[in-house]
Amino acid sequence: MTTPSKPYIKRTQRDYTLGFKLQVVAAVEKGDMTYKQAQSIYGIQGRSTVLTWLRKHGKMDWTQSPRRHAMSSSPKAKETPAQKIKRLEKELDDERMRNLLLNEVVDILDAEHGTGLRKKLNSQGARSLQAQKKVSLSRACELLGISRQCVYQREKRTRQRKLELTAVKDMVQELRRYMPRLGTRKLYFLLKQKFVESGIKLGRDAFFDYLRSEHLLVKPKRSYTKTTNSKHWMKKYPNLLKDYAPKQPEDVFVSDITYVQSEDGIHYLSLVTDAYSRKIMGYELSNEMKATDVVKALDMAQNSKQYERKTVHHSDRGLQYCSGVYQEKLKENRMRPSMTDGYDCYQNALAERVNGILKQEFLLYKCLNMRELKQVVDESIYIYNNMRPHLSLGLKTPNEVHKKSQQQGLLA
């Protein structure tokens, strides 16, 4: 005897009360069942009916794929023991593969770039894990394939190296007494021989790293204040340096004016620099930018000359350099005037660079008055000419280059 099958009754959304819908939504969002299980348990018709309720009444975001959402929201709710074992085995395999890849990367870096990361960092990693109380030192060493003795020996070498490099810090600070913002490459050049004499093995890159660890690297400063007024009626002269580079000292002088400050206010420093040797030949500190003050720097440069040759004098188009008193002094000293075109400061880049060196490496602190500032300027220019090496001069000082040329001329 066959039992008659129940007739299929099609239901619509109106056949489910709001309370029932909210109950199903709460059960699914709590993780008691998936939305498909809810459809099966309660006999809810339609493939997306429960999903529609979830999107309308749920507190979670159901706009993404329901399968991904169900997995991310409650993976443990629907996981069987076999599924959990399978998932954990996959995660373990992934971790092993990741470990192999990281080890391969370290080996490549050590082999191709000579970094020595494995040797350097294994003992540090073991100590770090121990410090975080994640694992004992013995267990960490076992996992990393090293011995505890390796860790102790490396720490001992690190302490000895730090003690050895204390002398380097003293040497750097001694030079920084005179040149507080001298760059690292120049410092290394000046100290390299002392390292050899002291038996300290320290390359340039390691020297950089050491200064960085001791916070002794200098950061560049950038500042610009306009001191040139080129909009005037006086005669300007053509740029003679476009197709000419100085071949010996005192071929070309470059001049510029920069501002410096004290507690009394703003002062102006006029400089005349030899373009070949980078030596500051003349300077004058004044309270104003008068042509008569700028001429004093030119007079000092003329008196400092060591060669009897004609010189090109290059400057910007400022009022002081175009003035009659300055141009007369140039004629008197047999110097040919040359000026930048328009307002391009890069056509007098060497003079600007010397200004920058003095202000960024020497004139760092505000003096009380002009008398103090004058003393600092005198000391700074002496150190610049006689002690500070220039990269553009093969790490020689301006005075060395200037004198060397004079000696070669005498020998010839």
pLDDT computed for residue 411 by the predictor: 40
Residue type, 340: T
14-18, 210-214, 261-265, 296-300: segment of lowest average pLDDT? 14-18
> In 263-381, where do the E strands start and end?
265-274, 280-286, 311-315, 335-339
Mean pLDDT for the stretch of residues 59-68: 68
Decide: 151 and 141 in contact? Cβ < 8 Å: yes
Cβ-based neighbours of 403, under 8 Å, separated by 6 or more:
none
Q: How confident is the model at residue 124 (pLDDT cuts 50, 70, 90)?
A: low
69-78, 208-217, 283-292: segment of lowest average pLDDT? 69-78
Q: Which H or E run includes 259?
A: strand 252-262
Q: How confident is the model at residue 234 (pLDDT cuts 50, 70, 90)?
A: low
Sign (positive/negative) of CA torsion 275, 348, 226, 295?
Answer: positive
Cα 5 from Cα 239, distance rounded (Å): 107
72-81, 125-134, 353-362: segment of lowest average pLDDT? 72-81
Mean pLDDT for the stretch of residues 379-386: 90
Is the pTM of the predicted complex or chain greater than 0.85?
no
262 vs 405, more confident: 262
Sign (positive/negative) of CA torsion 24, 29, 30, 35?
Answer: positive
pLDDT computed for residue 343 by the predictor: 57
Return the closest-CA partner of residue 288 out of 271, 269, 273, 305: 269
Cα 126 from Cα 27, distance rounded (Å): 47
Asked if pLDDT for residue 192 goes beyond 70, the answer is yes
Cα 313 from Cα 274, distance rounded (Å): 10
Residue type, 196: V
160-174, 227-241, 256-270: segment of lowest average pLDDT? 227-241
Distances (CA, A) of 194 to 187, 189, 202, 218: 11, 10, 11, 22
Q: How confident is the model at residue 34 (pLDDT cuts 50, 70, 90)?
A: confident
Name the percent of the chain lying above pLDDT 70: 78
pLDDT computed for residue 224 by the predictor: 47
Q: How confident is the model at residue 344 (pLDDT cuts 50, 70, 90)?
A: low
Asked if pLDDT for residue 265 goes beyond 80, the answer is yes
Asked if pLDDT for residue 79 goes beyond 80, the answer is no
12 vs 199, more confident: 199
What's the pLDDT tens digit per position in 283-311?
Answer: 999 988 888 889 999 999 999 988 888 89
Q: How confident is the model at residue 412 (pLDDT cuts 50, 70, 90)?
A: very low
Asked if pLDDT for residue 138 goes beyond 70, the answer is yes
Pair of tokens at residue 261: 């400050």
Asked if pLDDT for residue 115 goes beyond 80, the answer is no
